[in-house]
Structure 1
Amino acid sequence: MLGPIARTPRSTAPNMNSPILLTGASQRVGLALAQALAQAGHTVVCASRSQPPAHPNLLHFEADLCRVADREALVAHLRRHCTSLRAVIHNASLWLDDSLDNLDTMFRLHVEAPYHLNLALGELLQGAGKADIIHICDETSSRGSKSHIGYAATKAALQNMVLSFAEKYAPQVRVNGILPGLLMFKPEGDEAYRQHALQKALLEFEPGPQPLIEAVLFLLQSQYSTGSQVTINGGRHLKNRML
C-alpha cells in the first residue's frame, strides 16, 4: 500500500536530487504512473491543478500548464531547488470536442507547454548525466480522428517534437514518445460504448495504466533509444487495417 503524501506548496524548499517532473499526475493513468515512479524510489514533482493522493516521494506543484505564468513559476521553482532533472514526462492532456476555443486550449497544453518546458529545463536535464524527455502522445496522432480532429492534430505536433528535441539534446538527453490507445474507460461510459471500443483492437480488454507504466520504465532504463515512438494500443492499428 502507498503511504500518505506530503503536499509541497510553492513556498516550501524540498530536498530534490534529480527528480522527475511529471505533468498531469493527479488522476487516472497519470496518478498511477506517479505512484509507480515513487514506489521505484524516484522523487516526482507532480505539476497539476489538483493535488494527488499522499506519498512521501511525490511533491505537488500547483500549476495550470495552459498559462505561461504558471509554467514560468514552475521552471523558477525547479531551478531554485534542483541541480539537475532525471526526466520530464509530458502526460497532461485534455480530450475535448472540436471547436476553436477547445483547439486553442489543447494547443497550449499539448504543444506550447511541452515546447516551453523542454527549452526552459534543458540545462537541468543536461546536468543529470543521463536524462530523458518522454512525450505521452496518442495513437490518433499517427492516423487522425474524424471525431476529435483538434485533439489528434495537437497530439501529432507533440509527437513531431520528439524528433526535433531528440536531435537538439543528443547525446546527453534521450527524447522519446509513447502512443497509447485505450487504457482506461471513463466512469460515465456505457456498456455499449465499452464493447464497441474494445472491439477496435486485436487485444479486446481494458488494460489499465500498467502498459504505460511499463513503457515509461523501459524508456527510463534504455541506453540506445532516442527519437523513437513506443505504441501501446493492443494492435488497434492492425485491426483497422483488416476491416
Structure 2
Amino acid sequence: MMKTVVITGASRRLGLFLAEQFIARGDRVFAVSRSTSNEFTSIDSANFHAVQIHGYDKLGVEQAVTAIKPQVSHIDLLINNASVFEADPKDNQEIESKLTLFFQIHMLFPSLLTHELAPLLFDEKTPGLVVNMTDIYADNPSHQHSLYCSTKAGLENLTRSFAKKFAPGIRCNSIMPGPLKFLPEHSQAQKEQVLNATLLPFEAGFNPVFQTIEFILANPFVTGTAIKVDGGRSICRG
C-alpha cells in the first residue's frame, strides 16, 4: 500500500537518497528543503512533491504545513533529517548565533513540524511514525563540536518525549548515524583516520539508514528507541 512520507532536508545527500528510495517503492513523498535541487529534476513521478521553504524556523514550518496539509488526509512517516554539521566557532562572539542556528534546525523546526503534522500522523490502529535523524555524537560528544552535539542530544530527548506524548497513535524513534558517506572535501588521510576507528571499516553509503527505516516501519512494537547505524564507531571513540 502506498505510504505518504514527509522528509526534511531532502535536497541533498541522505535526504535526497531517502526521497528517491521511497519514490522507487511507489510511495508519495513531500521533500522539504530550503532550495529546489537540480537533483529533483531527475525524479520523474507524480507522487513526488518538492516543498520549498525559506528556512528552518517557525516561518519555514508554516510554509511546509501550508503546502502539505491541503494535499493529504493522512501521513504515514515524517523523517526529520534537516541538519547542519559545523565545528564550534573560534570567536566566542559567534557562539550565540551558531547555537541559535543549530537549535532552530535540530530542535525547534522538528518539534514544531511534528506538532503541526501530528493530527495527520495520529492513528491508534496503525500509528504514524516519526523518525528523527540524530548522531552518535549525541551520546559521546566531540569537544570540537559541542554546540552541534548538544542540539542533537536535545533532539534525542525530544524523540523520547514525543514517544510518550503521542502514544499510542504515533511512534517516535531516532536513528544515530556514523560515518556513512564522506564528503568530497575529505582527504584520503581523513577517511583512513575515521575508518581505522570503526569496527566495520568501510564507507557504507546511505542504504543502511533506509534499511533501518524500513525495519522500524515494519515493526509496530518499536517506539522511543534510538538505533545506531555507525559500523560500531560509537564504541571505538574515546
User: Could you tell me the TM-score, scaled by structure 1's length?
Assistant: 0.88
- How far 1:65 sits from its partner (Å)? 4.0
Q: Which residue of 2 aligns with 1:147?
A: 144
Q: Which residue of 2 aligns with 1:200?
A: 197
Helix, strand or coil: the match of 2:23? helix
| Letter paired with 1:212 | V
- How far 1:217 sits from its partner (Å)? 1.1
Runs (5+) with no aligned partner, structure 2: 90-94
Q: Distance in 2 between matches of 1:42 and 1:124?
A: 16
1:35-74 correspondence runs (5 A)? 35-51=20-36, 52-53=39-40, 54-55=42-43, 56=45, 57-74=47-64
Residue-by-residue CA offset, 1:218-243 (whole Å, 9 max, x unaligned): 111111000001101111123236xx
- How far 1:50 sits from its partner (Å)? 2.5
Q: Which residue of 1 aligns with 2:68?
A: 78
| Letter paired with 1:50 | S
Q: Which residue of 2 aligns with 1:95?
A: 85
Helix, strand or coil: the match of 1:147? helix
Residue-by-residue CA offset, 1:192-236 (whole Å, 9 max, x unaligned): 111101111111111010111111111111110000011011111
- How far 1:78 sits from its partner (Å)? 2.1
Q: Distance in 2 between matches of 1:174 and 1:225?
A: 7
- How far 1:29 sits from its partner (Å)? 1.5
Q: Distance in 2 between matches of 1:32 and 1:18?
A: 17
Helix, strand or coil: the match of 2:18? helix
User: Could you tell me the TM-score, scaled by structure 2's length?
Assistant: 0.90
Q: Distance in 2 between matches of 1:34 and 1:49?
A: 15
Q: Distance in 2 between matches of 1:70 and 1:173?
A: 23
Runs (5+) with no aligned partner, structure 1: 1-16
What is the total number of aligned residue pairs between the two structures? Answer: 225
| Letter paired with 1:25 | A
Match of 1:189 among 180, 186, 190: 186
Q: Distance in 2 between matches of 1:61 and 1:158?
A: 23
Residue-by-residue CA offset, 1:84-128 (whole Å, 9 max, x unaligned): 111110001000221322211111000000110111111011159
Residues 1:104 and 2:100 are matched in the alignment: yes
- The structure that is helix-richer by fraction is 2
Q: Which residue of 2 aligns with 1:9?
A: none
Give me the CA root mean square deviation: 1.6
| Letter paired with 2:10 | A
Q: Which runs of 4+ in 1 moved over 3 A?
A: none
| Letter paired with 2:58 | V
Which stretch has the larger CA shift, 75-84 or 184-193?
75-84
Q: Which residue of 1 aligns with 2:116?
A: 120
Q: Which residue of 2 aligns with 1:29?
A: 14
| Letter paired with 1:72 | E
Percent sequence identity over aligned pairs: 31
Contact 1:30 1:91 in 2 (8 A): yes
Q: Which residue of 1 aligns with 2:235?
A: 238
